[in-house]
Structure formats: structure tokens, C-alpha cells
Copies of this chain bind each other. A is one copy, B any other.
Amino acid sequence: MRRKPTLKDLSERLGLARSTVSRALRDDPQIAAATRERVRALAAELGYRPNAAARALTRRRAQVVGLMLPRSSALVFANPYFSELLLGVSSRAEQAGFPLLLSTAPDPDFTGWLREGRVDGLLVLGSSITDADVPGLNRLLEAGYPVVAIHAAPRALQVVSVGSNERAGVWQALAHLQQLGHRRVALLSGPRGSRYAERRIRAFRSGLETYGLEADASLLVPTDDSREGGAAACRRLIERGVPFSALIADNDLVALGALDVLREAGRCVPGEVSVIGFDDTPLAAVASPALTSVRQPTRRLGEIAFDALLALMAGESVASVRLATQLVVRESTGPYVPSGGAP
């Protein structure tokens, strides 16, 4: 592979100093128009491009931002949710001239890229941060490295985060079901023990109380956030003979799994059971019956997260953001009809 041309090559062929050439290429106002043109012409001819590493070394910034989407967390790309997020982030990053360095490692090294100077700022999925990661990340944050968490991160982490108001989302779902007359609502939650799941479970419990719905521990089933997981959870509910006339799933995939099982079991949706998904991914609209789902403004979230990071990198101070969710009502929810199972 032929050597790439460098500033030195240009300067020698032009009989100019390297510094002059460098300035000419970045149109420094103090350079004579004539020489600037000479330099640019040759640069174009040789196909010169400044070396990124050398530039990063002297400027002390890589002009890259990192995005960590650990595969472990919620199947990443298999979940359309992440596509949306990536779309939001990447569109802004592109505009700002910061390519994205992407990691999907199951067990991510949150601090490495930043400390190596590989990236100037970092976007992380808050839900993928474990308690074990907190001390390292906190040290980094205290040292002033720009980091933004997407979705809520552990409380102990002093990080700027950008997310949606999940509590309100859960309540919107419950309010809708209550208005339809439902009283026994199941929750197919996320993996037991994940902060993320716990948060929604808390929201669910308090919502039950607020809306005067029945609280019953057997209505709460954990899943692994996949379609199969949703199916398994729903099956468990049915096999145990737990009466319920509506269910809220942790995401649209889980809801689809539940739909599969309800169909198998001959329970009509929404005739006998109402189903609500979460995230309002493209799958929701395609499903049959089309899913009522709690929309998170995912793409917007990605955009806002990137903008926040950029501001942090510019030394501005930035506050965390919580966007509103919205219940998108489709065909999978309907009025409560007293019948066989539910009392």
C-alpha cells in the first residue's frame, strides 16, 4: 500500500514550511491567497488528508463520540427500539461532525475509551450500568469527562440522564384500562432484579392504588423481555389459573408473545383480555390485533442525548431530561366484559 502523503511531502514539493502548509489548508486568514491556492491545488492532486491520529494527538481530542449499547441489555438490535435510538443519535452526530464509535460488547468497559482518548464523550444506556460499574464511572465523572446516560442510571451515579417518564407511562396504561372497566390487571415485567423492572413495578403498584385496581402479587410475572419470554409468562399466568382481564407488557415483543399464547388459549383480544405494550415500536402497528402501546419518544431521546453530550463537551452545564410518554390506543384494548375467568 503506497504511503499516504503527509504535510512534509507537500511542503517539500512546494518549497514551503510544514507549518505554512498546515495553515493554508485550514485557511488561516494570515496566509497569502496565492500560496493558499498553490497548497490546496497540490493537496487535491495528491489526495492529501490530514492524519487523524496525529491531529488527535496534538489537539487532544478525537472528534469522535462513543455509544455503548451492550448486547446483554434487552437484545439490543433485535429490539426495534434500539434502531430508533440509534437513528436519533446518529443523525445528530452526523450533523455535528462526530462519527460514532459503537460498542455492543456484552460486558462493556465504560471508562476505557474515554481514558484512552479514543472518544471525547460517551453515551451509555443507563439500564446497562450495574452497581459494580458505578465507582469507576463516578471517578470519571468527577474528573470531568462528558458522559450522558440514556434512561435512568443507578441513583448513586452523578450522571446527566435523558429518559422518558416511565412512571407516567405505566399510569397512562392503567388509567386507560380502568376507564374501560378493568379491575384485575397483570404486569409482565422485565427481568427480576433489574432496576429498570423494579422501577416499573413500583409505578405499577402505586398506580393500582391510585386508580383503585386490585393489587394481587400473583398478577406480577417477570419476563426476559423477549417474545418467547412474554409467551412463557402469559402461559404461566393462565396455567396458575390467575384471573385477569387485562395485561401490561414490558415491551412490544413481550406483548406479542402474550398475544400468541392468548390466541392458543382461545382467549379473545380485546374481547376477553386487553393487552398493552410498551415502546410503540413498528411491530405494534403490524401486530394483529394492532397493539395499544405506551410510546416513548425514542428517536427524540437519542437526539436530545447527543445534544446534551455536545453541550457537556463544550463545558456547558446540562440538566437531566425526562420526556413525556404517550399512550397510543389501537385494537388490543377494549371494554371489560364480565365472563368466564375474571370475577
- Which A residues are within 8 Å of any B CB, using their own CB? 1-2, 4, 47, 49-54, 56-57, 62, 64, 71, 76-78, 80, 82-84, 86-87, 90-91, 94, 99-105, 112-113, 115-118, 139, 143-145, 256, 282-283, 286-288
Contacts and interface: CB of A to CB of B under 8 A. Distances in A.
B62 A52 contact: yes
Given A54-B57, A256-B286, A288-B288, 5 more contacts: A77-B84, A94-B104, A99-B113, A283-B283, A287-B288
A254 to B, nearest CB: 13
Contact of A283 (B49, B78, B86, B282): B282
A51 B116 CA distance: 5
Contacts of A64: 101
22 contacts: A1-B144, A1-B145, A49-B112, A52-B53, A52-B56, A52-B116, A53-B54, A53-B57, A71-B91, A77-B87, A80-B80, A83-B83, A87-B104, A90-B102, A90-B104, A94-B104, A99-B102, A99-B103, A100-B101, A101-B102, A282-B283, A283-B286
A62 B63 CA distance: 14
A171 to B, nearest CB: 27
Contacts of A288: 286-288
A66 to B, nearest CB: 8
Given A78-B282, A91-B104, A94-B105, A117 B52 contact: yes
A47 B111 CA distance: 10
A44 to B, nearest CB: 12
A102 B94 CA distance: 10
Contacts of A77: 83-84, 86-87, 90
Contact of A83 (B56, B82, B144): B82
A53 B117 contact: yes
A145 to B, nearest CB: 7
A103 B112 contact: no
B116 A50 contact: yes
A91 B76 CA distance: 12
Nearest to A66: B99
Nearest to A47: B115
A131 B76 CA distance: 34
A70 to B, nearest CB: 10
A12 B299 CA distance: 49
A256 B282 CA distance: 12
Nearest to A116: B52
Nearest to A76: B87
Chain B CB count within 10 A is highest, among A77, A78, A80, A283, for: A77
B49 A57 contact: no
Contacts of A103: 94, 99
Chain B CB count within 10 A is highest, among A54, A101, A104, for: A104
Contacts of A100: 101-102
A155 to B, nearest CB: 24
Nearest to A50: B116
Contacts of A4: 115, 117
